[in-house]
Amino acid sequence: MAYLDNLRTFVRVYELGSMSAAGRDLRISAAVTSARIGQLEAHLGVRLFQRTTRSLAPTEQGRSFYEGARAVLERLEEAEAMVSEITETPRGVIHLAAPLGLGRRLIAPEARGFAEAYPQIELRLRLSDRSVDLAAEAIDVSFFLGHPADSDLKIRHIATCARVLCAAPDYVARRGMPEDGAALLRDGHDCLNLRFPGATEFRWTLQTPEGPRRFAVAGRLECDDGDVLTDWALDGAGIVLKPVFEVAGHLAEGRLVPVARATPPLPVQMACLYQHRRWQDPKTRLFMDHMSGRLSAALRAAETRAAAAL
């Protein structure tokens, strides 16, 4: 097993570009990570990485070896999955990713239930509103809201999420109640925007009597963490566009109120991305079958809670 551990460590160092990042990912110390790479290099008789105090880069031999090492580990995963399916005892690790709001409110609670039902499966969940590279970060399943551009990945639709424009009653009292999307622009309302990598402007697509229309909204506050936007909205700093499930409690209890009701936001899909080969793994299929129905039910329950306010 030592050689396989060395291979796994090499692959993660190569993919993450850092000994320390790979160590954190594998839950081993930086010293162990470095020792495993050293053992592998000694076995192969070549340098796999060029190291300096500030950088680490694969050598030509390292780049060549990576493809073969990755293929070996993938075949091993497939073999382990076949054995797991035959024995009907799912086991192993599933790496998950999700946006912060979705992950905290829906994915994490339901994932905990799955872990209790299948104690031989480990779940490792990463929450971030940034985009995730499934291959580079070794993610098995990535949940998302919207429509991803990467057509090389498989998509499994889970549910359709209602969305709402909302603000604190204090904000509405100070700035007035915008009736529609045009009022957001005309009256110079402060819109709280989620910053995506590479974004240069913000557009909210709203349903108007003439059909969907994109409004180029503006505001003085933006962040790459959706929960920070919710906190700002609760503090009266502006208007936020949110999936209803993320703010259902605030709406039901009156801490946030819907605005621009004449032009509501379009709903958004909740779905997951996965690499095709990952779907051959029975534990991944089992996880998604378990999660899909429960996520849909949790989403509907949250939206029902907020229905009176909407």
Which CA distances in Å does 137 have to 25, 50, 140, 173?
9, 21, 9, 46
Does the reported pTM lie above 0.85? no
pLDDT for 276: 67
Mean pLDDT score of the chain: 86
Q: What is the residue extent of each domain of the chain?
A: 2-85, 90-159+269-306, 163-266
% residues pLDDT > 70 (the chain): 91
Q: What is the pLDDT of residues 14-33, one digit of tens each?
A: 888 888 888 887 888 888 88
Q: What is the pLDDT of residues 173-203, one digit of tens each?
A: 999 999 999 999 999 999 999 876 555 457 8
Beta bridge partners of 203: 216
Across residues 5-16, what is the average pLDDT? 83
pLDDT for 103: 93
Q: What is the pLDDT of residues 42-95, one digit of tens each?
A: 888 889 888 877 778 888 888 888 888 887 777 777 666 666 554 566 778 899
Across residues 246-260, what is the average pLDDT? 96
pLDDT at residue 136 tops 60: yes
Asked if CATH classification 3.40.50.300 holds for the domain at 90-159+269-306, the reply, yes or no, is no
pLDDT for 274: 85
pLDDT for 86: 47
Between β-strands 163-167 and 257-258, what pairing exists: parallel, antiparallel or unpaired? antiparallel
The arrangement of secondary structure in 163-266, i.e. its CATH architecture, is 3-Layer(aba) Sandwich (3.40)
Asked if CATH classification 1.10.10.10 holds for the domain at 2-85, the reply, yes or no, is yes
% residues pLDDT > 90 (the chain): 45
Identical fold for domains 2-85 and 90-159+269-306, yes or no, is no
Q: How confident is the model at residue 271 (pLDDT cuts 50, 70, 90)?
A: very high
pLDDT for 282: 82
Look at 118-132, 209-223, 261-275 and tell me which has the smallest mean pLDDT: 118-132
Half-sphere exposure of residue 243, counting CA atoms within 13 Å on the CB side? 23
**Structure-token pair, residue 120:** 């031989």
State the DSSP H helix or E strand holding residue 207, giving kind and residue range, or none if neither: strand 202-208
C-alpha to C-alpha distance for 299 and 52, rounded to whole angstroms:
49
Across residues 290-307, what is the average pLDDT? 92
Q: What is the pLDDT of residues 149-173, one digit of tens each?
A: 656 778 889 999 999 999 999 999 9
Q: What is the pLDDT of residues 104-122, one digit of tens each?
A: 999 999 999 999 999 989 9
Which CA distances in Å does 250 have to 14, 29, 184?
44, 42, 22
pLDDT at residue 250 tops 60: yes
pLDDT for 242: 95
